Structure formats: C-alpha cells, structure tokens
Structure 1
Amino acid sequence: MAMPTTLDRQISATRAKRTPLNRSQITGFWGAWAGWTLDGMDSFIYALVLAPALTELLPRSGYAATPANVGLAGSILFALFLVGWGLSFIWGPLADRFGRTKVLAATIFTFAIFTGLAATAHTVWELGIYRFFAGVGIGGEWALAGTYVAEAWPEDRRKMGAGYLQTGYYAGFFLAAALNYTIGAAFGWRAMFLVGLFPVVVSILVLMRVKETDKWERAEVATPHVKHQSSLKTIFNAQYRKRTIVAAVLLTVAIIGLWAGAVYEPSAVIQLATKAGMDKHDAARMASIATGLLSIGTIVGCLALPPMAEKIGRRKTLAVYFVGMAASIALAFGWAFYLPNGLVPFIALLVVLGFFGGNFALFSLWLPEQFETRIRATAFAFCTSVGRFVGAIVNFGIGAMVLNMKTLGVPIALTAIVFLVGLAVIPLAPETRGQELPN
C-alpha cells in the first residue's frame, strides 16, 4: 500500500480544517440553488418550445408561420425577455436596503407566476409580455443568490460554494430538457410553461426558512448613516467606478457568447437531425438530449472553475474559459453545423462549449469580492443586467442576419469575436485571489 505524499497530507489537513456549515447555511444554500435551478429551467423552456409555440401563435396574430417568421419573432421575443432581464437591476438596491432573503423570494415568485401565465397566451404579443416580466424576475435571482451564498458561507468555503451554486442554473437546463423530452413531447408547449409555476413553492420556503445573512445585518447596524444613500450611485463613485464598468463589460461578453450558442442550440440540432433523416418528433427529442449534454458539460465546468481560480487567479481563469468559449462556438456553428453529417461532431462540440460556459461561476465568486456588503447586491445586479440589454440588441442583429443570410450557423459563429474584447478587458479587472470578502 502506497504511503501518503506530502501533497496528500496537505489536502487532508485542509479538508479537516474546513468550517462546518450550520443548518441555516445549508438550508439557505439549497433554497438559493433550487431557485437558480428553476430559474435556469424557466429561462430555457422558451428555447425548447420556441418553434411549436410560435407555429401556433403566429397565425392567431395575423402572420404566416413560415420558418423565417418563426426565426424573426423568436429573436424579437427573446430580445424582450433580455430587456426584462436587464431591468432586473432594480432588485439589487432593494436587497441592499431590505435584506437578501425577502427579495430573493420575490424574484423567484415573479418569474414563476409569469412563466405559468405564458401557458395562457393566445397571441405572440401576450407571450412576449409574459416573457418580459418573467425576465425581470429571472434576472434578479442570480445576483441575489450569489450575494447570499458569498455572505452566508464561511470564508474557507464560499469560493467552492460559488461553483456549487452556478451548477443549479445548468441543472435547470437539464431539467428543462428532460421535461421537454417527456411532458413537452406528450402534452405540448403550454404544459411546459405550466410546470414553471412550481418555483412559487420554493419562494415561499425561502421566505419562511432562510435566515438573513450576518454580514448584511452587521452592515445595517454599523453604517446607519449610509442607510438611505443610493447604492446605485455609490457603485459609480471614484472608488468603485472602474471595477463596476470592467465587470459589466466582462459579463456582457459572457452573456452574448453563451446565450447566442445556448439559445439557438436546439434549433441547430433540430435542423441537423432533420438533415440526418429524423422525423420531427425524433429531432425534437434529439434537441433535448443535446441540451442535457450541454448542461452536463457546463456543470463540470462550474465545478472545475473555483479550484483553478484559487490556483492561477481570477483573471487567468476567465481568460482560459473565454478562449475555450470562442473556439467551441466558432467550431460548432461555423464548421460542424455545415458538415454533410454534422450532428455528432456538433453535439460533441456542444459539450466542450458547455464546459467553458461554466465561466459564469467565476462571476458568482469574483463579483462579491470586489464590493463591500452595503452595495454588493446592487453591484452584482447592475453588472449582470447591463449585459442583458446589450445582449438584446445583439439578438436583434443575429435574428436579422439569420433572416438575410438564410442560415443559422455563420451568424452564431461570428459571436465568438466578442471574446476578443473580453480578453482585452480582463487585465483591467482587480485580482482578488487570496483576499477575504470585504465587509
């Protein structure tokens, strides 16, 4: 039997010294994780049911359900959803003012109610309105869940907690794919939106069972003189302006890159599966399988990220993930999509794309380290929201390119260019490796 090495002993000692989590921290994490999982499920349901929903609703709205109209209407509705996501920055100041848990529950309740209402839509305009308000709720959940876990978990565990938390969103993708494979295939797109009502239960549990973070409560007591100052104004003062702008740009890059690939992935897989000889039913199921594989890849990427960020730093880790995202998007949509038998290589590249899409876990770890407690939720919510506004504009552009070029692959592949901007901006961000969460 081999003797343990020095490294083995160091790892064992580190594990032994980990601060144990109390019941409130465990309950709070699972509440935030479940909300983030159902958030991911709700946001991806739209991508999976896009074609059947618009095929039914466009004629009722006075438009022919042609592939071009479905693509254009889908882009417009998704852009409205992203604008709703962008407006979700309103939750940040509310959470800094009234606490993390109450506002977190409110975000979950909002996106659940409006996702359920989408099942009652009779026109594309009604569906667009419901998706807009669902976006407002969905957009706020990540900022508040990330802020909560960063503040509630002990310092020696919060970094890995960020990785664990981020897996929830992509577990939601997997859950949406599984539901589409079963409930969606059997009962249609309206049933998929009705399932989105389930998070209401989670929001009630979060409100009733999760304790407010000690850091927020201490900040409330320690800084009564700044209680009524605008946290949104503070993140743009001389101390925080640069890091706020840099973080917003980096998140914009990540959002444009991942969402361009992830949102259009089911449509691309359906096209490739149809080209390979599958009927409509089997092609839809193949899209669900591909989405599940994409989700598994992203979950692995989220779990691999925190140890890498601790070893080589936040900036280098994000650079590695951005390069991986750019390469996988360009190859999947610019190369595999156009192969005579491209379905298998396309799906294989989706797994790689998913892994590097785990870059979002870095923001759950990194953003809270850059801002003090009294403005943390505001900064997190603002930086995540800006990218969604820009993403909405880009999505209009992608829709127009798809319509004019009459192809899906090249317009999506071109979004890989945005990661060059990200790589240029990364050196401007503060390196916080080894630093404790500021109070």
Structure 2
Amino acid sequence: MDTLGRTGSAHVPATRTRLNRAQIAGFWGAWAGWTLDGMDSFVYALVLAPALTELLPNSGYAATPANIGLAGSILFALFLVGWGLSFIWGPLADRFGRTKVLAGTIFMFAIFTGLAATSHSVWELGFYRFLAGVGIGGEWALAGTYVAEAWPEDRRKMGAGYLQTGYYAGFFLAAALNYTIGAHYGWRAMFLTGALPVVLAIIVLMRVKESDTWRRAESLSHGAARRRGPLAEIFSARYVRRTLIAAALLTVAIIGLWAGAVYEPAAVIQLAVKGGATKPEAARIASIATGVLSIGTILGCLVLPPMAERIGRRLTLAIYFIGMACSIALAFGWAFYLPDGLATFIGLLFVLGFFGGNFALFSLWLPEQFETRVRATAFAFCTSVGRFIGAGVNFGIGAMVLHMKTLGTPIALTAIAFVIGLVLIPFAPETRGEVLPQ
C-alpha cells in the first residue's frame, strides 16, 4: 500500500456494476447543475456585444468596437476572479457534505445571473457577473467530486466523461436560447433564463443523497488532519507537488479554452458581417457556430475516458493539449483572416471543441489524486488558481485587442499556454489502473 492508501491496480469486472436509484438521481442532479452552469457561463459570451452596446453609453463611454472588446475582457476577468474565489466551497463540502454545498453554488449563480438582467451600467453588470462567478466556480469541483465518490469504481471513469458533457450541453442550450429568446427579446431576457436553476438547487437539496464515501470519511475524520484543515493538508509534504502540478495544468486548460470559447461568438459575428450578413443574421450564425463547438466538445468528453484508460492520463492530456494548440492557432491566427473564412473558421471550431474536452480528464483524474477528506478542497483549489491567472490573461488579451485593433492574433497566441502544459505533464502522477483513494 502506498502513501495515499491505495491497494494497487484495481480489477475491472467483466460486467459493469449496476447503478442504484440514488446513484442515478445524484448523477442527473450533478449533470443538470453543470449543464445550467455551462449555459449561464456562455450566455455572457453570446450577449456581450448587444449588452455592452446598450450599457457603455449609460456608463459614459462610446460603444465602439474597441471599447466593447476592452470592457468585455474586463467584465470577463471579473467573472473569472469570482470563479477563483470559489475555492471557499471546497472546505465547506469536505466538512458539511457535497450535496448541501452543491445546492448552495447553484442557488448563488442562478440568483445573480437573473439580477444581471436588471443592470443599468457596465459596473452593475460586472458586479452581478462577479458574484455569479463565485457560485458557478464551485459547481464543477463539487459535482465532479460527488460523481467520483458516489459511482462504483468500474463506472466512475466514464461517469466523469458523462458529467463533463453537461457543461457543453449548456453551451448548446445557451445557443438555442439565443437563437430564439435572445434574437426576439434581447440580452436581458437571456440573463433572466439563467435564474431558472434556483428550482434545481431546491431539488438537489431535497432529493439527492450524500455519497457513502463521504459519510464514511466524515465518521472517521479525526486527529491532526481535522485540526490542520483540508486547505492546509493539500499543501503538506504528502500532497504539495500534485496540488501545484494539477493547478498549473488546469490553468493551461482554462486560459486556452476560455480564450477560444468566450471570443468565438464575437469572431463569428465579425466574419459573418464581413461576408455580408446583417447583425441579426450574424447573431444567429454565431448561435449555430456555438452549437458546432458544443457538439465537438461533447464528443471529445465521451472519447476521453476510454482513451485515458487505455493509454494513461498523461498521454491522453498531451494529445488533447496538442489538439487545442493547433486548433486555436489555426482558427484565430489563420482562418479568421481569410477573405471568406467563415465556413473554415466554424469547421475548426468543431476541432477546437473536441480537444476542449480535455476538461473531462480533470473530472476523472483529480479525484484519483486525493483522499476523500480533502478531495473537494483540492478540486476547488486547483480549478480556482487557473481562474485567477485566467483573469489576468484576459486583461492582457483585452489590452492586445485594443492595441492591435484585431481579435484573431491575441487569441491565437494563447496556444502558447498549451506548449507550457506539455512540459508540465510528465511531472503529474499517472493513476491509470488505481482505485479511488479512501
């Protein structure tokens, strides 16, 4: 037995363990929360241009393309800072349970997304998006931790892939809402739809049972670990290396995918307008392009778990990082500048989306690296670090867009982050074939 309490390679039975009703209900509660989380996150990207066109003049600024780009970057950076502060949910979940805290995150992001519809200035919108980000940021860590602990060992890897599809199904849902509600009723109606997850939060709180894994760990959690606290524990000699490497790899993933995904609608709109489309037509094309991106990512999430089981976690992540670097560089650095590059750009979005499914690996891999009593804290912390750094990168992207008077090149340069990630991957632990540590 090693220092993390594992018992070596797990034997995978020929017949998969059947899921019981509680495990199925818990998964769908976590999946639905992650779906609505993804929808909420991407609503902002889809309504960025019309919302800032209205709010900038109310705030004393001209609604020029440069100002919209800069303000959009600043507001998204504030959103990422909120995401970064979401590490507070991890210790709460390790202490009080996954489901109660998961419901709290859903409730928080739903309320403040709905309130964004009442904004009268960019400052109000930024404030509401910051607080929504605090709620949204905690959902992934808690949903991923819950599914890893609640599902049987021979099902949990694929469960991570299934769970991650929810976030990008949310992208697709946001695109569908923008194509219908947004196109007819405007950006405020889009934010109002983000308040609907309040109902889900209530259902999660009342219907989803806590995992047996957490219950056992809680009953046995005594002594130095409890006195020290889970946040201090993940920086102990036992965990510090894997904590820092996991946080760095997640930072790479967040910088690259979010740069591409958040600016994708604006890029598509610019290309469509350049090709002769009206602004309403361009907005609809952007919704279709988002759907293409989402379908690609869902497929990438489903392909990843069996690949990670066959060739290992590290090699799988390396392949996905190489795919992300190439697709971002080609889409924003090449197709964006073609005379008639809209179709090529949208085609590359599918590839970008597929390799953007690398996030599913973290839902699978992070729980394998930490024991139950600190798992949610570690997951939340590692995801939060990337969001703080991603916020700084977004300020830099906004400044580059303003200086270079173009959207494509600054986004294309974020492909460099994945090269850095490839250097870091060998330092991460390979956990293929190992059972979830208790």
Q: TM-score, normalised by structure 2?
A: 0.96
Kept in 2: contact 1:337–1:343 (CA 8 A)? yes
Query: Given residue 166 of structure 2, which amino acid in structure 1 is its aligned partner?
Result: G
Partner Cα distance (1:372, 1:338) in 2: 48
User: CA offset at residue 17 of structure 1?
Assistant: 1.1
User: CA offset at residue 220 of structure 1?
Assistant: 1.0
2:231 paired with 1:203: no
User: CA offset at residue 15 of structure 1?
Assistant: 8.4
Partner Cα distance (1:227, 1:23) in 2: 32
Partner Cα distance (1:415, 1:128) in 2: 24
Partner Cα distance (1:40, 1:280) in 2: 25
2:334 paired with 1:370: no
Q: Which residue of 2 aligns with 1:5?
A: none
2:98 paired with 1:100: yes
Q: Number of matched residues?
A: 426
Kept in 2: contact 1:332–1:350 (CA 8 A)? yes
Quick check: 358-367 or 219-228, which moved more?
A: 219-228
Q: Which residue of 1 aligns with 2:390?
A: 391
Partner Cα distance (2:350, 2:34) in 1: 21
- The two structures, once aligned, show a CA RMSD in angstroms of 0.8
Give the counterpart of 1:167 among 165, 168, 182: 165
Query: Given residue 162 of structure 1, which amino acid in structure 2 is its aligned partner?
Result: A
Query: Given residue 201 of structure 2, which amino acid in structure 1 is its aligned partner?
Result: S
Partner Cα distance (1:16, 1:317) in 2: 24
Kept in 1: contact 2:13–2:154 (CA 8 A)? no
2:46 paired with 1:53: no
Q: Which residue of 2 aligns with 1:17?
A: 15
User: CA offset at residue 16 of structure 1?
Assistant: 6.0
User: CA offset at residue 312 of structure 1?
Assistant: 0.1
SS of residue paired to 1:254: helix
Kept in 2: contact 1:163–1:302 (CA 8 A)? yes
Kept in 2: contact 1:86–1:136 (CA 8 A)? yes
Give the counterpart of 1:125 among 109, 115, 123: 123
User: CA offset at residue 379 of structure 1?
Assistant: 0.1
Partner Cα distance (1:140, 1:222) in 2: 25
2:309 paired with 1:310: yes
Partner Cα distance (1:95, 1:222) in 2: 16
User: CA offset at residue 223 of structure 1?
Assistant: 2.1
User: CA offset at residue 425 of structure 1?
Assistant: 0.2
Partner Cα distance (2:112, 2:206) in 1: 22
Q: Which residue of 2 aligns with 1:8?
A: none
Give the counterpart of 2:214 among 216, 231, 236: 216
> Which residues of structure 1 form unaligned runs of 5+?
1-13
Q: Which residue of 2 aligns with 1:153?
A: 151
Q: Which residue of 2 aligns with 1:135?
A: 133
SS of residue paired to 1:156: helix
SS of residue paired to 1:120: coil
Partner Cα distance (1:427, 1:228) in 2: 33
User: CA offset at residue 222 of structure 1?
Assistant: 1.4
Q: Which residue of 1 aligns with 2:9?
A: none
Residue deviations 1:3-40 (CA, integer Å, cap 9, x gap) = xxxxxxxxxxx886110001100000000000000000
Give the counterpart of 1:68 among 55, 66, 77: 66
Q: Which residue of 2 aligns with 1:292?
A: 291
Partner Cα distance (1:99, 1:228) in 2: 18
Partner Cα distance (2:199, 2:56) in 1: 33
Query: Given residue 366 of structure 1, which amino acid in structure 2 is its aligned partner?
Result: W
Query: Given residue 176 of structure 1, which amino acid in structure 2 is its aligned partner?
Result: A
Query: Given residue 378 of structure 2, which amino acid in structure 1 is its aligned partner?
Result: A
Kept in 2: contact 1:97–1:227 (CA 8 A)? no
Kept in 2: contact 1:332–1:346 (CA 8 A)? yes
Residue deviations 1:54-74 (CA, integer Å, cap 9, x gap) = 010111111111111111110
2:31 paired with 1:36: no
User: CA offset at residue 228 of structure 1?
Assistant: 4.2
Q: Which residue of 2 aligns with 1:9?
A: none
Residue deviations 1:342-363 (CA, integer Å, cap 9, x gap) = 0000000000000000000000
Partner Cα distance (1:224, 1:239) in 2: 18
Query: Given residue 381 of structure 2, which amino acid in structure 1 is its aligned partner?
Result: F
Partner Cα distance (2:218, 2:299) in 1: 37
SS of residue paired to 1:208: helix
2:407 paired with 1:426: no
Q: Which residue of 1 aligns with 2:251?
A: 252
Q: TM-score, normalised by structure 1?
A: 0.96
Residue deviations 1:201-239 (CA, integer Å, cap 9, x gap) = 111110000110111110111122243431000000001
SS of residue paired to 1:157: helix
Residue deviations 1:351-406 (CA, integer Å, cap 9, x gap) = 00000000000000000000000000000000000000000000000000000000
